[in-house]
Amino acid sequence: MNVLVVDDSQMTRMIITKTLGSFGITGVAEAEDGQKALGLFEQKQFDLVFSDWNMPNMNGLELLGEIRKKNPTVPVIMITTEGSKARVEAAITLGVSDYLLKPFTPVALRDKVQKWVTTAKAV
């Protein structure tokens, strides 16, 4: 399984990567902004994407729109501290799969992986 983790916080990327590793998921690529993530996404097939919302160069919503142009079905989970109705509606319009609210626990991360990996494999 290949997972793309996108967050401008190196600490958040490290936490997610280590947590995924504890579940046996070692195919993790990291990017600190949407532009770098898009470059990785264009080079490799990913089964799941975790993306922060607020990042420099290309934010998570812009990245989501670009990912959807290239792959309308890969699960994209937005990582955010903000859940305003307008932001949620904008992300839903662009095809977000789910949200992971910061701060999150390893259990919450595992639940999202299990939910979307099962869904992706069932399709």
Sole residue written with tokens 């401008």? 8
Domains for the chain: give ranges and CATH numbers: 2-122 (3.40.50.2300)
Q: Is the pLDDT of residue 80 over 90?
A: no
**Residue 93 CA from chain centroid, whole number:** 16
Q: Which candidate, 48, 65, 50, places its Cα nearest to that of 119? A: 48
- Top pLDDT among 90 and 52 is at 52
Sheet holding 76-80, edge to edge: 27-31, 2-6, 48-52, 76-80, 98-101
Neighbours of 83 (CB within 10 A): 11
pLDDT at residue number 122? 37
The predicted model scores a pTM of 0.91
